[in-house]
Amino acid sequence: MKTLVTGSTGFLGSAILRKLLEDGREVKVLIREKSNTTNIDGIDVEIAYGDLRDSGSLQSALNGCDVLYHTAAYYSLWDQNKQLIYDINVEGTRKILEAAQLKNIEKVVYTSTVGCVGLNKDTTPSNEDTPFNLNTLSNDYKQSKYQAEQVVLEFARNGLPVVIVNPSTPVGPRDIKPTPTGKIILDFLNRKMPAYLETGLNLIDVDDCARGHILAEQKGIPGERYILGNQNMSLFDILITLEKITGLKAPRIKMPFWVALSAGWACEMVSNNLTGKPPAVPLAGVKMAKYFMYFDSSKAIQKLGLPQNPTENALRQSVDWFKTNNYLTTR
């Protein structure tokens, strides 16, 4: 049995690749010609070069494969070319699922996001059945992933054996870009966080999240969604945990939301009209922080056996990886 993984050069995708190889699976990865391959360098794996916008390359990559993990996505909280986000995340997903259908792939695991899961107004953890409010789609990335998930559900209704997983906030090593959560950790380490916002996240060890994908392939029901998460934590509690791990002092000043929002608007205007570079404070990120992203992963724990290793260990591994790989600007 051969498995194709998209997004294998990224944070979560590379963790999935490693877990599959640990299990003795035969794996092929789809990457772009100019991809940063740091996360898979030295790994003995078959490589297929292609692009989610090129149907021919997707069909070629799936030749000889039985299983598909579609993890790749264009993640950006700001981009001058907004259409690119939709071309890759929505139409790219449609194209690779069409190719999977054509090649009679036996099982597909699609990586969505908890951004496509409804939120409770009282900040209590929500689950796969919580009604979704379209008003929470606060940026193009979230809108594109929501549209992509609807495409996936349509394919499932038409008979494609595709399971959807909704990761919360993975934390751990090899966060090369880094992700927004990785940037929080990095800003903390580099002493660039004088204050914090009152918000919350659900954290999960990236290796547990990767294992959850494999369990979804093995035990997941096509057309069903499974939240892959672990511990709900306020941003302040995350920072206090980082203080415990590193000995560095966490900020005690709570920033009013309107201050962060004003900074986001100002930075966005500068980026859009002057520099053409990503804003120092992404407006989309500030808008996302308005919501407490707390989730209940009971379904994945009970139906799939999703591991729940301590998130403090994952935060420690993330800190160690950033230090070892020279991401720190202060000593």
pLDDT tens-digit map of 242-290: 999 999 999 999 887 767 677 776 877 777 777 777 777 776 677 667 7
| Structural domains of the chain, with CATH | 2-176+204-230+294-310 (3.40.50.720)
Q: Going by C-beta distance under 8 Å and a sequence separation of 6 or more, which residues neighbour residue 226? A: 128, 163, 164, 165, 166, 212, 216, 220, 299, 300, 303, 304, 306
Q: Going by C-beta distance under 8 Å and a sequence separation of 6 or more, which residues neighbour residue 210? A: 12, 15, 16, 18, 19
Name the pTM for this structure: 0.94
CA-CA distances (angstroms) from residue 253 to 195, 196, 199, 249? Answer: 5, 6, 14, 12
* pLDDT tens per residue across span 104-113: 999 999 999 9
- State the average pLDDT over residues 158-168: 98
Res. 169 pLDDT band, cuts 50 70 90: very high
295 three-state secondary structure: strand
Q: Going by C-beta distance under 8 Å and a sequence separation of 6 or more, which residues neighbour residue 55? A: 95, 98, 99
- Residue 78 confidence (pLDDT) above 60: no
Q: Going by C-beta distance under 8 Å and a sequence separation of 6 or more, which residues neighbour residue 229? A: 114, 167, 168, 169, 202, 203, 204, 295, 297, 300
Report which of residues 283 and 168 the model is more confident about. 168
Mean pLDDT taken over the chain: 92
- Triad 109, 218, 152: Cα angle to 5°: 25
- State the average pLDDT over residues 189-199: 90
Paired strand residues for 30 = 6, 48
- State the average pLDDT over residues 285-303: 87
- Residue 299 confidence (pLDDT) above 90: yes
Residue 89 in contact with residue 132, Cβ under 8 Å?
no
* pLDDT tens per residue across span 27-65: 999 999 999 999 999 998 999 999 999 999 999 999 999
Amino acid at 88: I
Report which of residues 282 and 313 the model is more confident about. 313
Residue 173 in contact with residue 317, Cβ under 8 Å?
yes
* Residue 22 parent element (H or E): helix 11-22
